[in-house]
Structure 1
């Protein structure tokens, strides 16, 4: 076999492996280490240790729209893996957030548990790498652990593992849909969500879970 055909064959095998990989699993995308942001420490903004977690919210964001936004802001160098790699990232997981029902229904953004253990040190890159196909950014993953995960989970592995397990329960909509269309698609294509009220904003959508991680309708906002 010539070098050319060996290269073509390897690409075919790689594509087939990715196509058969579980959604968001470590082998469902190609991780080019040269594109990863190695400066992924996050600054603490505000801390809320008084609020209690009443339910969890798994939030999805649209990668192409996010990359367009970062390019307009001139910040594309910090998200090269998500926005410049050969991967076709569509709707990806923004994070799993512990939510206060009172804060959620009132729209009080600062009323949720946040940075419960303060400004934490950056996690080792090897801890983040298995979840980069789910949430394609080292800074994103580090931030989600510090801001949200540390409030309810004893370790980053438990937090990211739970997030991945929840995300893999559902099919994800095409990337060209807006959040309103994506919510409708999620209900039509995931039987467990058929009669469930989903979270929706101008740019994202999400699925709510009770503290046993069973799907629930998100609280109605006032």
Structure 2
């Protein structure tokens, strides 16, 4: 994985990006420390067959967390308002996924601050590296560098506007993403996760082993196209 950054940079066809518009005037806060994260499951090492870039819909996440100190960077509004943010880049295996691989390389405050407008939580940054990134590469700089390349290559649809459409469905949410990102992306490459009440929680983008978009399996595909969906705006 030493050439992971170079591989992604070559393979991704970068388009003029609207992704940064999802961090509404984000101001990266100063970071003086990064939480220590302990594994909550056993390590699992399996061959990597692909990847998932999970994008969390921040207005829904922050709906009940605006006053939470633990989520202040993302939800208080002091550092800006967010639409989609990166939950994490997850390596996938054939039947399961690798996790909590051995690594002694820590996430430094500088690394965390560099990524706070993409992933506005130091605990989230630390956990994603420890649980997922450690199974991809030896250095957190590489893991977050790859994640940023993928993130910056995306055009994000105007889901605020789409949320106002009548008879909104999960299929419309994934089709909008595919339409915004050109021929490389098909609706089958886009997973849509709704909560039990039908509100959008996450969009999960499926990649093959060489970071080309690929068809999502059933687990990552999520809600079927005809399922009624709602998008909480919160702005």
Describe the shift of the 1:207–1:80 C-alpha distance in structure 2 as closer, same or farther (beyond 3 A).
Answer: same
Cα drift, residue 53 of structure 1: 1.7
- Match of 1:29? 26
Which residue of 49, 54, 69 corresponds with 1:54?
49
Cα drift, residue 47 of structure 1: 2.3
Which residue of 124, 145, 169 corresponds with 2:108?
124
- Match of 1:65? 60
Q: Give yes or no for the alignment of 1:100 onto 2:100.
A: no
- Match of 1:184? 175
Structure 1 length normalisation: TM-score?
Answer: 0.73
Indicate if the aligned counterparts of 2:190 and 2:205 stay in contact, CA closer than 8 A.
yes
Cα drift, residue 22 of structure 1: 7.2
Cα drift, residue 182 of structure 1: 3.1
Computing the radius of gyration from Cα coordinates, the structure with the larger value is 1
User: How far apart in 2 are the matches of 1:194 and 1:163?
Assistant: 20
**Structure 2 stretches lacking a partner, 5+ long:** 1-15, 195-200, 222-235
- Match of 1:114? 99
Describe the shift of the 1:169–1:121 C-alpha distance in structure 2 as closer, same or farther (beyond 3 A).
Answer: closer
Cα drift, residue 21 of structure 1: 8.7
User: How far apart in 1 are the matches of 2:169 and 2:142?
Assistant: 28
Runs of 4+ with deviation above 4 angstroms: 36-39
Indicate if the aligned counterparts of 2:18 and 2:155 stay in contact, CA closer than 8 A.
no
User: How far apart in 1 are the matches of 2:133 and 2:34?
Assistant: 20
Indicate if the aligned counterparts of 2:18 and 2:156 stay in contact, CA closer than 8 A.
no
Aligned alpha-carbon RMSD (Å): 2.9
Which residue of 90, 97, 114 corresponds with 2:83?
90
**Structure 1 stretches lacking a partner, 5+ long:** 1-19, 104-111
- Match of 2:203? 205
Indicate if the aligned counterparts of 1:37 and 1:139 stay in contact, CA closer than 8 A.
no
Q: How many residues align?
A: 188
Indicate if the aligned counterparts of 1:37 and 1:80 stay in contact, CA closer than 8 A.
no
